[in-house]
Structure 1
Amino acid sequence: MLKNTIALVALYATTTLAVQSLVIEGSNFVNSNTGNRYQIVGVAYQPGGEAGYKPQSGVDALSNGTVCLRDAALMQRLGVNAIRVYNVSPDINHDECASIFNAVGIYMLLDVNSPFSGESINRGDPSSSYTSSYLNRTFAVVEAFKNYPNTLLFFAGNEVINDVSSGKVIPPYMRAVTRDLKNYIAKHSKRVIPVGYSAADVRDNLLDSWNYLQCSTTGDASDPSRVDLFALNSYSWCGDANFQTSSYDRLISDFKNTSVPIFFSEYGCNKPSPRIFTEVPVLYGPLMTPVMSGGLVYEYSQEKSDYGLVTINTDGSVQLRADFDALQGQYNKLNVTALQGVKAENTSVVPPRCASNLITTDFYNNFTIPSLPSRAQELIDNGIKTSNSGKLVPVTTTKVTLGVQSSSGAPMDLSITVLADDQSNTPSGQTPVTSPTGTTPSSSPTPTKKSGASNVKVASCALLGVGFLAAVLL
């Protein structure tokens, strides 16, 4: 009996906890366990920018567990529950980073394309780039990430339709890539993983992009070429704007009848600087949450474009910027229960049937989309050949070893807090560390209704459970 009990203790100690995989119901992300609507509170995450993507050297944003642990600890403190990663290599092992972000309750939104030739749709000549080789690459990204429960969704494209001319040729290819990804996922993934599009906030064709991509040729949600979600990169709220001057009111009016979740795949105008993020309480307040499902701030690391929340130094150390403090302060004001604890509504919205009268500008309005390239159906039927199918692994290290400083230079002693099973990260209500003190601030979030337990608490609960079971067996 003792031997069996010890084995059971070991089983609990090595169990990998997981977030609840979200589902889409109508115009909502929904926690399928609670039925509550889920709001994305996220950041764009691509350290080093495009130059930081070096697959030939085994490097992308999710390839280094030590770096991911550092950033996950800061993001957990910040209060985000999602990251968007633009460039990932399907040939790199991401188990450690994906498991770390899963452990702290952070979902991943992943682009399937890359900046390299042949790994995205060419907006100038889409037919030449829509090939079986290209699809093989996008399917490989699916294979690499499909088994992580915190893989929230895949973006089939990002700002591929970005002006009037691209709006005349690109739309059918975006529906085709969406169809192909969804068909591949349906055949080779154990769960449905949504596929969507990230649009440029170009007023000339934003609504037509949304209408073209969300409509259904079958009259219901079964059409695989229809996106599961629609996101936009919006920078219209700058400084101390408001709901009207930022044109957020127009967005809500335009998208009020959406049949798919709508959210900001990027937001956070950087003029003036430092940013004050006064859009946060509005985005997550009663004016917008009935329509919008949150958003992701651009961006985590300071790059040439000057949008960073933190500065990453060449030695791997990090210093927070004033923008981090301001954003954390705004997040800390949010009502987490109202944000994530409300039952989903509009869960059975019928999508509009595709028809040319949905299109109001000089935009592509034919809903016949390209057929699969040669040999692509074989890839979908049989799956692609890959040895890199990701899986969660135990997170055995919680303490950050890389140096981290507050915005004023105070050293920060950081660790991640592993959340209990089925939990996601939320703003913790901590006061940002903005001035040096004689003590080293702790990184552990203040417990909230959605917060989980630390490694010690999880282990303790497991042991208690084992002890109870052992007592029953004895």
Structure 2
Amino acid sequence: MSFLLRTATALLASCAAVVSAVNPIEVRSQNFVDARTNERLMIIGVDYQPGGQGGYKPQEGQDALTNGTVCLRDAALMQRLGVNTIRVYNVDPTLSHDECASIFNAVGIYMIIDVNSPFGGESLDRSNPSGSYTLGYLERTFRVVENFKNYPNTLGFFSANEVMNDVGTSSDNPPYIRAIQRDLKRYIAAHADRTIPVGYSAADVREILADQWNYFQCAISGERADSRSDFFGLNSYSWCGGDATFQTAGYNVLVELFGNTTVPVFFSEYGCNEVQPRVFEEVQALYGPEMSVMSGGLVYEYSQEESDYGLVVVNADGTIRLRQDFGNLQDQLNRINITLAQAANSTATALTPPVCDESLITFPQFSKSFDIPDAPEGLDDVISNGVRDAVQGSIVDVTARRVPMAVLDVNGASIDGLEIVPVPQGESNTPSGENTGGDASGTATEAAPSATSSAAAVENGVRAGFLGVALGLAAAVVV
């Protein structure tokens, strides 16, 4: 359904508040699949952590999903951008995320949630995995599950991120990551009313990449079976600039490597910024027929932070200015053949996971042990009875739709009338063909320190036409 038709349907159907939208997602072999329609979901997403690691302020009751007005603003922009999934790195499970989760749900955007945080004792310490794998740490991860398990747009949980960021960290950590996955999956099975996938987000360290993937997708029988990853995310920045190709970026190598995957594989981060503005030509490869083995990806990242990867600049007063990267990415997403992208995986060949065995591991320093550590004492009782004082999230009515703060295009002109448009029940968001961020031009240059200087002229005719239709249809709708 086109974005304009979807808009008309949503606005004319009812003045009632939105309660639910997306269908839950399951893992079936190499694919993410809509549990009700049985259609494949291809992840078209962005990584979302406004303020970066510093934006995680549990001591002030703040994380990326606690401010409904901010989420309304960002959901409206992401809906127009064309994404259907966000990844959120740091959340406080003692806080309510109902408003933000419900807003993203209403516009058809799924969430993949990391269960860890940058604070001590709230993640697996790659330099001391045995010492950081504690009952208290696991109880916190279970509270994250409790907080997000009831949202239908919770797509999955990341058990860890880049714990192995070099060869040296690959010796001791793999069994502990699988142990955390086992514990999370046991807790979900005991306390959630549906299966929610759990996986790992890996650094693209090419010497050990094949070993990481093999280690986490292989199957172990008996009580350790649940330690297997349900999906495998890869943080990859190998496609840099408009001169890169499928071969020079090594995408052909990835297709060959993952050709017999038995779990969904996707880019949990991508979008090299060595050449700016980014033109995102890798999008056409990622969602094209040659890479149907992959389940899409998440662009790093939504907001401009010190690392200089942002699609938008968030000002201190909450206003936003779009970067040229936003318009360039939107143009690339609009060119995706959604029907082709969501078709069955045609390149993966294996259906049965390999049995875990040290023969799967080729790099000398990578762990060959599949002796998954025993759970800390007391964990069985926690899994049986649940964590105490857990904050359980639930979908709430979404009544506000209009974005109250200013949003500016790359030239500083106001984008008027920005609002979310709830999707029909059971649908997720898709690229609309709209031009929100500006004319997808801008000459790529070597990256400069400035975050906002490389912008081209903006044409807003498509946006203005859309707004005219939407506002006309919405005349009788109370927002």
TM-score (normalizing by structure 1): 0.89
Is the CA contact (8 Å cut-off) linking 1:95 and 1:393 kept in structure 2? yes
Return the offset for 1:77: 0.5
Alignment match, 2:272? 269
Identity of counterpart residues, as a percentage? 55
**Structure 2: gaps (5+ residues):** 1-13, 439-456
What's the secondary structure of 1:424's corresponding residue?
coil
**Structure 1 stretches of 4+ moved >4 Å:** 343-348, 435-447, 454-459
The question of whether the paired residues in 2 share the 8 Å contact of 1:417 and 1:445 is answered with no
Partner of residue 449, structure 2:
none
In 2: Cα distance, 1:347 partner to 1:424 partner? 28
What residue number does 2:433 align with? 429
Superposition map of 1:146-295 within 5 A: 146-218=149-221, 223-240=225-242, 241-289=244-292, 291-295=293-297
- Write the distance in 1 (CA, Å) between the matches of 2:387 and 2:203: 31
The CA distance in 1 between the partners of 2:344 and 2:151, in whole Å, is 25
Out of 19, 25, 46, which is 1:22 matched to? 25
Match of 1:112 in 2: 115
Question: Hey, what's the Cα distance between the residues in 2 that align with 1:202 and 1:215?
Answer: 19
Task: Report Cα offsets for 1:234-266 as digits up to 9, x if no partner.
Answer: 000000211100000000101100010000000
Structure 1 residues 375 and 211, CA, compared in 2 at 3 Å: closer, same or farther?
same
The amino acid across from 2:419 in the alignment is S
Superposition pairs of residues 436-451 of structure 1, within 5 angstroms: 441-442=463-464
Q: Does 1:78 align with 2:81?
A: yes
In structure 2, relative to structure 1, the CA distance for the partners of 1:329 and 1:380 (3 Å cut) is same
> Aligned pair 1:416/2:420, yes or no?
yes
Mapped partners of 2:385, 2:465: distance in 1: 46
Q: In 1, Cα distance between the equivalents of 2:89 and 2:131?
A: 23
Question: 1:276 is aligned with what amino acid?
Answer: V
What is the alpha-carbon distance in structure 2 between the residues aligned to residue 443 and residue 192 of structure 1? 42
The aligned runs of 1:43-58 (5 Å cut-off) are 43-58=46-61
Are the counterparts in 1 of residues 261 and 349 from structure 2 also a CA contact under 8 Å? no
Contact 2:435-2:460 within 8 A present in 1 as well: no
Tell me, in whole angstroms, the C-alpha distance in 2 between the residues paired with 1:456 and 1:446.
11
CA distance in 2, matches of 1:163, 1:271: 21
Match of 2:100 among 89, 97, 101: 97
1:54 Cα deviation after fit: 0.1
Deviation, 1:18, is 2.3
Cα 1:444–1:129 change in 2 (3 A) is farther
Q: Is the CA contact 2:15–2:477 (under 8 Å) kept in the aligned structure 1?
A: no
Amino acid at match of 2:90: N
**Where do 1:298-317 residues align within 5 Å?**
298-317=300-319
The 3 A distance-change label for structure 1 pair 222 and 165 is closer
8 Å CA contact 1:302–1:312 kept in 2: the answer is yes
Specify the code of the residue in structure 1 equivalent to 2:257: D
1:308-457 correspondence to structure 2 within 5 Å: 308-340=310-342, 342-343=343-344, 349-362=351-364, 363-413=366-416, 414-434=418-438, 435=457, 441-442=463-464
Letter aligned with residue 320 of structure 2: V
Give the CA deviation at 1:441. Answer: 4.3
Which secondary structure state, in structure 2, belongs to the residue aligned with residue 287 of structure 1? helix
Cα pair distance change 1:437/1:257, threshold 3 Å: closer
Distance verdict in 2 for CA 1:13–1:175, change over 3 Å: same
Which deviations, in whole Å up to 9, do the C-alpha atoms of 1:65-89 show, x marking residues without a partner? 0000000000001000000000000
Aligned residues: 440
Asked if structure 1 preserves the Cα contact closer than 8 Å seen for 2:260 and 2:350, the reply is: no
Distance 1:236 1:383 in 2: 42
Name the Cα RMSD after superposition.
2.4
For residue 167 of structure 2, give the secondary structure of its aligned residue in structure 1. Answer: coil
* Counterpart contact for 1:35–1:344, Cα < 8 Å: no
Cα deviations across residues 87-124 of structure 1 (Å, max 9, x unaligned)? 00001100000000000000001100000000001111
Paired with 1:12 and 1:322, the residues of 2 have a C-alpha distance of 36
What stretches of structure 1 of length at least 5 have no aligned partner?
1-10, 448-453, 460-474
2:322 touches 2:437 (CA, 8 Å); kept in 1?
no
